[in-house]
Chain A
Amino acid sequence: MSPPESLPEDGSLTPNLSQWFAEEVQPHEPALRAWLRSRFPAIADTDDLVQEAYARLLRVRATGSVACARAFLFITTRNLALNQLRHLRYELPADLAETDTAGVLDESAAIPDTVARAEDLQVLIHAIQSLPDRCRQVLTLRKIYGFTQKETAARLGIAEHTVEAQGAIGLRKCIEYFRRLGYQPRP
């Protein structure tokens, strides 16, 4: 599939972004589709999901760094799929707590140092790093490993509503941290 037409800024991909898309993103599409089909058989049309995930990825990539395109893609697509199932009022798969995004991600290559050191990623890393322990663990599992709330609760051995409350506190503190640094969305 080619990059989506609905792009954030001026509607066209810069040569850099196109190259990045071709090299870092598109190669993962077959695996992503296979995984989607096996995890979410109830979703008939996966094109829209993949397209939307691409659009989101390009949007964040156009304004900064992304640690791992493959991970971003799988996690975003999974979240979109879950959303769609909720809207369709499907029963969520019972074994969802075992969603294997982590397994999928393990195949990915190590993240280059240069990427991990990108200034904007460092802002995010430090935001999480400076949180109280529980908040930090919740945000780490949710954002770096793409765990759902339920999976996070299981992994940390705490109640789901605690994960939710700690997540909200963590997010608020991250936002306050972003505000202090002036790290905010473009107008």
Chain B
Amino acid sequence: MKPLALTPPSDPALEAAATWAIRHDRGLTATEQDEFFQWLAASATHRAAWAEARWSWDDLDRLAGLQTSLHAAADPDLLAPKKRRRAPVYRLVLPILAAAAVVMVGFILLTGRGALTQLVQDGVPGHLALIEQRTLPDGSTVELNRGAVIAEEFSEGSRRVRLLRGEAHFQVTHDPARPFIVEAAGVAVRAVGTAFNVRLETTTVEVLVTEGQVRVDDAVRGESLLAAAPAGEPPVLVAGQSARVDLAPAMVPQVATISAAQIEDQLAWKPRLLDFTNAPMPEIVTAFNRGNPVHLRLGDALLVDMRLSATFRSDNVEGFVRLMESDFDLRAEWRGDGEIVLRRAR
């Protein structure tokens, strides 16, 4: 691996190129015109820097008109950092440190680079946001899929969690004295010691049991929504079963037994540790793309043969991409459609 440069050294070619790009914009004087051509002809580095500066200057025009209609008077502080002035309509990107994002990456530790910056949109889970893992007061754990929101209501006698939005997987600690109940849009999923997934959509609530068993009740009336078992035992949903409850007109669950492969598929959003040992890049990319809304693509045939050993959380695509850029001389192109194309830097 090549040694790392921690801070980019000052780059005189880039400095000059930026100055020329600005001057070009306002129009060069005759003297400047000559000076510019001399500078440009002097080296290929100048020409590359000039192309980059020119492209960047033009690319910033994409922002033209941002919020203009809402601020008739031009506001030079439109993009001032929040502490002094809040951008009124759009929450803007905040860089946050996601030190926990990379669980362990040996070579990052060796080179002393632990924290990778992560971009998320404040308040709005961008599709790069990590899946949140939370431990509840009783030691149960919950994994919140991107965008999911829960509210906890724990008391002496019961453990209640409301799923307000999205999808979550619960791993419940055993406590027969305090039932664990997840409520989603009037559907109560009641567990003792078990693991299950609840997904709230606009018109349905879907419950998938991965361990043990749960009851699925009407949260208001307390009656089971499941058909009674033949032996008269209280109806339950067991591991490997899912119930899809339509919320309207009546709450009618459709119970299905699903295969291990289907369970795995449905829970593909849950972050796993991806542990690669001398793995080829295509395999790594496939592993990341499974269950992530952002898709990596190898845009360079040379990358197919590249091999890598590392451990990542499966939802930490961005950390992986940053590492590829900083330590492996790759360039990532972030396309608007959620695709990231990796290429070898030239």
Contacts and interface: CB of A to CB of B under 8 A. Distances in A.
B89 A116 contact: yes
B58 to A, nearest CB: 8
B26 interface: yes
A185 B341 CA distance: 12
B57 A171 contact: yes
A129 B78 CA distance: 9
B69 A140 contact: no
Contacts of B233: none
Interface residues of B, number: 61
Contacts of B77: 136-137, 140
Contacts of A139: 60
Contact of B69 (A79, A109, A117): A109
Most buried by B among A79, A127, A138, A147: A127
Given A108-B68, A122-B93, A182 B333 contact: yes
B119 A122 contact: yes
Contacts of A107: 69
B297 to A, nearest CB: 13
Contacts of B97: none
Interface stretch (B14-22, B105-113, B176-184, B212-220): B14-22
A174 interface: yes
B90 interface: yes
Interface string A137-148: 111110111111
A83 interface: yes
Interface residues of A, number: 75
B27 interface: yes
B211 interface: no
Nearest to A125: B92
A101 B138 CA distance: 60
Given A129-B93, A155-B76, A167-B22, A144 B68 contact: yes
Contact of B92 (A108, A122, A143, A175): A122
Interface of B: 8, 11, 14-15, 18-19, 21-23, 25-27, 51-53, 55-70, 72, 74-81, 89-90, 92-93, 95, 119, 121, 124, 126, 321, 325, 330-336, 338, 343, 346
